[in-house]
Amino acid sequence: MRWPVFGFVVVLVVAAGCSGFAGSPSQSTGAAADGQSAIDVPHAVVTVTVTAVVDGDTIQIAYENGTGDTVRLVGVDTPEVHTETDPAEFEGVPETDAGSACLRGAGTNASALAKQRLLGETVGLAFDSNLNRRGYYDRLLAYVVHEEVLFNYRLVETGRARVYDSEFTRTERFYAAEDAARSDRRGLWHCTDPGATTRTDTADSGAITESTSGVEIATIHADAAGNDHENLNDEYLTLTNAGDESVDLSGWTVSDAAGHQYTFANLTLGPNDSVTLYTGRGTDTVTERYWGRNGAVWNNDGDTVTVRNASGEPPLRQSY
């Protein structure tokens, strides 16, 4: 959706570092898109276009008058991709080379999500009444709202970011989302044990065997915002190589309980690297693959993801 914005608002943002906005942005307390009923999505006070993604928590934007700015997302901290990440900043992640390497991969995934969801898109910015409008390096401190989804919160609930400890108004709900992500070892939180062997359900009898490949199902995002069939690239799953060696995924398959199947081609997953498989169409990269389907695959009310390698070893299965 697009939010109305008046020319004088943009002038105030650029000339006065947003100091012209009085009070807190109004908030929507109804259920949000993308299943974000646990978080209130703020109404944006200015509409901008995302021109570049610096990393998972920092973007560059252009106002409607053509001037630019840099936005640091409020309340979140994704692992670094341009400098070293300190594992001590991410509770439970070992302060080892393996922990650092795992976080680098998680940072790349967070950046990839920001590029896939935000780059080139029109988004709304909202501000927090407890925080200054600008922070370090004179960057805007803002919530980013896209298609009625609070992207800051999405980073946390999918395990792509930790909560950045500050006095923003939504702290409690962000921490609740972080706790849930950590409990499920989503995204970066699988780095709490980066060398662990993945345990997966490999038989109809419920027997558990151990995966020696190191590949695990890190994220399943079945419930796309709005109509699933009209928003296919908001339905996706992520595979992560939590092992110490590269894994050739060529010939590996992903399928649902109904038998819909996708086959990977020409893809090697390095240690701590991840690849996200989107249901819709797009351009394949080393971190993103597109199924190319015309309708949704994963059932919102529960399904089983099955991943099989090319040599026919016992598959990985995860139900939700």
pLDDT > 60? residue 78: yes
* Least confident stretch, 19-28, 36-45, 226-235: 19-28
Cβ-based neighbours of 205, under 8 Å, separated by 6 or more:
none
Structure confidence at residue 318 (pLDDT): 81
Please say which residue of 129, 152, 178 terminates a domain. Answer: 178
Beta carbons within 8 Å of 172's beta carbon, 6+ residues apart: none
Tell me: do 237 and 308 sit in the same domain: yes
CATH classification of the domain holding 275:
2.60.40.1260
Question: Given a cut of 50, is residue 198 above it in pLDDT?
Answer: no
Cα dihedral 120, 126, 132, 137 in deg (nearest 10): 0
271 and 296, same structural domain? yes
Taking only Cα atoms into account, the Rg of the chain, rounded to an integer number of angstroms, comes to 20
Within this chain, do residues 153 and 247 fall inside the same structural domain, yes or no?
no
**Domain housing 245:** 195-319
Domain membership of residue 162 (yes or no) is yes
Contact partners, residue 271, CB within 8 Å, separation at least 6: 101, 105, 214, 241, 243, 244, 245, 246
- Asked if residue 188 is part of any domain, the answer here is no
Instruction: Identify which of 303, 196, 286 has the alpha carbon closest to the alpha carbon of residue 244.
Output: 196
Same domain for 206 and 232: yes
- d(CA 143, CA 123) in angstroms, rounded, equals 10
Q: Are residues 66 and 213 in the same domain?
A: no
What is the enclosing helix (H) or strand (E) of 232?
Answer: none
**Given this model, what pLDDT does residue 314 score?**
65
206 in a domain, yes or no? Answer: yes
| pLDDT: which is higher, 194 or 308 | 308
Query: How many structural domains comprise the chain?
Result: 2
Amino acid 119: pLDDT: 93
Computed over every residue of the chain, the mean pLDDT equals 81
pLDDT at position 163 is 97
Q: How confident is the model at residue 84 (pLDDT cuts 50, 70, 90)?
A: confident
Q: What is the mean pLDDT of residues 53-70?
A: 96
Q: What is the C-alpha separation between 244 and 221, in angstroms, rounded? A: 26
- Confidence class for position 242, pLDDT limits 50, 70, 90: confident
pLDDT value, residue 199: 37
Q: Which of 89-98, 239-248, 264-273, 277-286 has the lowest mean pLDDT?
A: 239-248
If DSSP states are collapsed to H, E and C, what string results for 239-299? EEECCCCCEECCCCEEECCCCCEEECCCCEECCCCEEEEECCCCCCCCCEEECCCCCCCCC
**Are 16 and 158 members of one domain?**
yes
CATH number at residue 132: 2.40.50.90
Other C-beta atoms closer than 10 Å to the C-beta of 179 total 12
Compute the average pLDDT of residues 22-43. 49
Instruction: Return the closest-CA partner of residue 139 out of 263, 207, 54, 82.
Output: 54
Q: How many CB atoms neighbour CB 161 within 10 A?
A: 31
- The verdict on 63 and 162 lying in the same domain is yes
Do the bridges between strand 268-269 and strand 304-308 make them parallel or antiparallel, or are there none, so unpaired?
A: unpaired
Place 13 in a pLDDT band, splitting at 50, 70 and 90: very low
255 conformational bin, left if phi > 0, alpha if psi -120 to 50, beta if neither: beta
Residues 148 and 215 in one domain: no
Which of 143, 178, 213 is the endpoint of a domain? 178
- pLDDT score for 122: 96
pLDDT at 22 > cutoff 50: no
253 is a domain residue: yes
The reported pLDDT for the residue numbered 258 is 86
Mean pLDDT of 204-225: 65
Q: Is 50 exceeded by the pLDDT of residue 161?
A: yes
Residue 187 falls inside a structural domain: no
Q: What is the pLDDT of residue 212?
A: 53
Question: What pLDDT, on the 0 to 100 scale, is given for residue 214?
Answer: 80
Is residue 2 one of the residues assigned to a domain?
A: no
**What is the structure's pLDDT at 21?**
31
Residues 170 and 200 in one domain: no
**pLDDT mean over 189-217:** 54
On whether both 222 and 300 belong to a single domain, the answer is yes
Domain boundary among 129, 153, 178: 178
If asked whether residues 91 and 153 sit together in one domain, one would say: yes
Residue-level pLDDT at 201: 36
Determine, yes or no, domain membership for 185.
no
Most confidently modeled of 12-16, 159-163, 238-242? 159-163
Q: What is the pLDDT of residues 100-139, one digit of tens each?
A: 888 888 888 888 889 888 999 999 999 999 999 998 889 9
SS3 32: coil
Q: Is 145 among the domain residues?
A: yes
- Do both 39 and 152 map to the same domain? yes
Strands (E), 65-138: 68-73, 76-77, 122-126
Q: What percent of the chain has pLDDT over 70?
A: 81
